[in-house]
Every structure is written in C-alpha cells, then in structure tokens.
Amino acid sequence: MVTIYTMEHCPYCKQAKVLLKERGVPFTEHKMEDEAQWSALFAKSPLRTVPQIFSGTELIGGYTDLAKIDATTKLVHLKQQ
C-alpha cells in the first residue's frame, strides 16, 4: 500500500496525488497538521519536506522521485501492492 504525507497548500503534494491517481495506484493520504505527526514522520524518514511517499515501509521519496520512477515503469509495481 502506498502512503503519502502531505500539506494542504503544497503544489508537489497535489502533483504526486494526481500522478498516483492517473496511474491507478491506490494510496492513503496523511495531512501533516501538528507537531506530533511531524515527529512520527521524522522518526522513519530522513526527509524534511513533503510530500513523502512510502510503499509499505519503504521510502520512495518526494514527487520528483515518484516522477522518475513513473518515467521508467509507469508505477506498475505500486499498483500490485
């Protein structure tokens, strides 16, 4: 399952969600709204920006990383989870 951590007015978050939807990849979104959420996210990821996209427990990265994967695989492997 793909999980994406986002913020409300983040253009890269919006682009990542659009790309996942276009490719038919199901995902769960978590909007970052308080310090406790950020602390929990920082405990499992070295990134300090959003979006942060995970496939299971594996960090994919942000929107740019997702787009690079899409350019070669069309995110097929993410649909099969």
pLDDT in tens, the chain (81 residues): 999 999 999 999 999 999 999 999 999 999 999 999 999 999 999 999 999 999 999 999 999 999 999 999 999 999 876
- Do 54 and 38 form a contact (C-beta atoms < 8 A)? no
Set out the domains of the chain in order of their start, with CATH numbers. Answer: 2-79 (3.40.30.10)
pTM score, whole prediction: 0.94
Sheet with strand 2-6: strands edge to edge: 27-31, 2-6, 52-55, 58-61
Residues forming beta bridges with residue 52, ordered by sequence position? 5
